[in-house]
Structure 1
Amino acid sequence: MSVVFPSLSSLRAFETTARHLSMKQAAEELNVTPGAISLQVRELEAALGVALFERKPRQLVLTPSGADYAASLRSAFRLIREATEVVRSRGNPDIITLSCTTGFAIQWLMPRLDRFQAAHPNIDLRIGTTARLVDFRTDGVALAVRHGLGVYAGLASEKLVDDVLVVVASPEQVAKLGPSPAPRSLAGHTLIHDAGRNDWRMWLEAAGAFDVDWRKGPLIAPDSNGALEAARGGIGFALLREGFVADDLAKGRLVAPFGNSVRSRFAYYLVYPPEALDRAAVRTVREWLVNEASRVL
């Protein structure tokens, strides 16, 4: 006896609605009207002969049968996506787009990309640099790195890099401070600023170096990349994120002459919609980023 399966469109409508617990959000994801979603879900319930949702005023609640069915469908759709990826990727790289700020891309990511490409030659990791929030549904972005507190509605977030500010300069500049330098020995030396001057004020006050004028020194905008290049070029002392200059410190291009650092309550977080990890290549990139963040260069 053959089994008549429900239509794929009704299954997608139900699984998406169950994930959001909202027909409006499901309609937005699937680019149809809420009325179409409602009709497809009701047709599915009629075909199955069971209620999948308990409809309350302004609220949808999955019934026990609906919750079990949604979990099974989620696994089934994941298998379909993975099988489709395998077919598409034969002979072609899997394209994954990562969105991040220019500073994160140049200072943290670029020194590590050779390792990623060597380990995962079949993944084409593309970097999109922007400071604005991306729309994962419409911008073609799988993963994003954002600077903040790590709380993003409807998205998963994992801390990658703490926001710890440390003073760095070229070895030649540090030598000018003399033996056993203290933060107050920065007086009379050039302080490099990236987007503003408050970071230097905060660091110097925390270090007790009240005699150093934090207001002086060139302001190199719009981000910390210019300050990094200026420090490498021996122009002066820059206050940069410790995690971003780890490669320069390890290779001796820069030196951190003081043990003092200032930790912000902000950090750099890897952000993504939970369903993005249904793609095997996205899971690979996510795991690599997390592992790199815990690695000492």
Structure 2
Amino acid sequence: MTSRPEPPAPMPRKLPPLGALRAFEAAARRLSFQKAADELAVTPTAISHQIRLLEDSLGVALFIRHVRRVSLTMAGLTLFPAVRDGLDGMATAVAALRPPPVTHPVLTLSATTLFTGRRLIPALARFRARHPDIDLRLHATEAIADLEAGAADAAVRYGTGPFPGLVSLHLCDDAFGVLASPRLGLRCPRDLAGTTLLHVDWHHRSPDAPGWSHWRRLAGASWLDTGRGLRFTDDGHALQLAIAGEGALIGSLVLLRDELASGVLVQPFGPLIPGAGYHLVATPARMASPEVQALRDWLSAACTAA
């Protein structure tokens, strides 16, 4: 029994270098050495050199060089579609082999600047550790984000509600009191007579706003001149001066919990001004999403943790 002859080995392909073919395809498609260079992140001189090597290896001219442009010769017109289709085929095959990109859901939470800095940022590492698949973005602003228009996925709102069109979850209630550096040595309300009063002008003023006038009424301290002192539109500026021992302020016991725990601020005496509550709010659809549910659990812990 005679054996079949082995089929002849395929002849090796005689192809120019891939770099030269890529340079030719880009220049032929754009009819510009400069644009081809920009696309491939090389210099126009490098493109010209690669194409000259390709023309020399083929023994034909592929481009007609004009003053400010190039055009394809008949040889170039013949070669271009074959090179283009070959490169497209390779790109398609390579893309099919790559795993699909991992996409993480993006979640934007809007809150005031002070709430973001004092309660959210210190707890941010815990959220990322528990939910590495969620890209949480904090939007610190005093403006009220339009959640129905998509300005954010959820927000922390201070107040009593209701919040029309939104679902809300109560996080915690606040209270306000006299806060100062222990260096001031405040022991009783009368000590405030010689202390700089730091005022924060709330964006939404009301007779019950937690400020010095409200505290004076509760304390029965009619002798206290609440018109004097320094005024700020930014809570953080007043807080910095209070920590530096430059005055006393009416501050949030929830937002300044860490400063009180560390001792850089003290609450030397009462009374406390009852505050409203902090609420997580979102549209009904977003509140039901797994991402906002994870946010809800994290916020509850961040607001109530001692």
Pairing 1:291–2:301 present? yes
For the residues of structure 1 that align with 2:270 and 2:158, how far apart are their CA atoms?
Answer: 24
For the residues of structure 1 that align with 2:101 and 2:299, how far apart are their CA atoms?
Answer: 25
Match of 2:191 in 1: 185
Check conservation: 2:105, 2:133, Cα contact below 8 A: yes
Pairing 1:213–2:218 present? no
Check conservation: 1:184, 1:210, Cα contact below 8 A: no
Displacement of 1:162: 2.2
What 5-or-longer segments of structure 2 have no aligned partner?
1-99
Q: Secondary structure at the match of 2:265?
A: coil
The structure 1 residue matched to 2:201, chosen from 176, 195, 201, is 195
Q: How does 1:71-86 map to 2 (within 5 A)?
A: none
Pairing 1:248–2:259 present? yes
Match of 2:154 in 1: 143
Distance 1:171 1:91, change over 3 A: farther
Q: Secondary structure at the match of 1:127?
A: strand
Aligned AA (2:218): A
For the residues of structure 1 that align with 2:177 and 2:133, how far apart are their CA atoms?
Answer: 37
TM-score by length of structure 2 reads: 0.60
Check conservation: 1:169, 1:255, Cα contact below 8 A: yes
For the residues of structure 1 that align with 2:218 and 2:160, how far apart are their CA atoms?
Answer: 22
For the residues of structure 1 that align with 2:252 and 2:245, how far apart are their CA atoms?
Answer: 18
Q: Secondary structure at the match of 1:193?
A: strand
- Could you say which structure has the larger radius of gyration? 2
Aligned AA (2:181): S
Aligned AA (2:304): S
Displacement of 1:140: 4.6
Aligned AA (2:156): V
Match of 1:272 in 2: 282
**Could you report, residue by residue, the CA deviation over 1:193-236 in whole angstroms, capped at 9, with x for unpaired residues?**
11169710110221122222111111122x31211111112111
**Could you report, residue by residue, the CA deviation over 1:230-272 in whole angstroms, capped at 9, with x for unpaired residues?**
11121111111110100111112211111421113x3322111
For the residues of structure 2 that align with 1:128 and 1:262, how far apart are their CA atoms?
Answer: 28
For the residues of structure 2 that align with 1:234 and 1:92, how far apart are their CA atoms?
Answer: 48
Check conservation: 1:101, 1:129, Cα contact below 8 A: yes
Pairing 1:130–2:141 present? yes
Check conservation: 1:99, 1:144, Cα contact below 8 A: yes
Check conservation: 2:176, 2:272, Cα contact below 8 A: yes
Aligned AA (1:195): D
Match of 2:246 in 1: 235
For the residues of structure 1 that align with 2:235 and 2:113, how far apart are their CA atoms?
Answer: 9
TM-score by length of structure 1 reads: 0.62
Distance 1:123 1:262, change over 3 A: same
* Percent of paired sites with the same residue: 37
Q: Secondary structure at the match of 2:238?
A: helix
Match of 2:131 in 1: 120
Aligned AA (1:286): R
Provide the aligned length of Structure 1 versus Structure 2. 201
For the residues of structure 2 that align with 1:164 and 1:151, how far apart are their CA atoms?
Answer: 20
Distance 1:142 1:249, change over 3 A: same
Displacement of 1:159: 2.2
Match of 1:261 in 2: 272
For the residues of structure 2 that align with 1:97 and 1:115, how far apart are their CA atoms?
Answer: 17
For the residues of structure 2 that align with 1:291 and 1:131, how far apart are their CA atoms?
Answer: 23
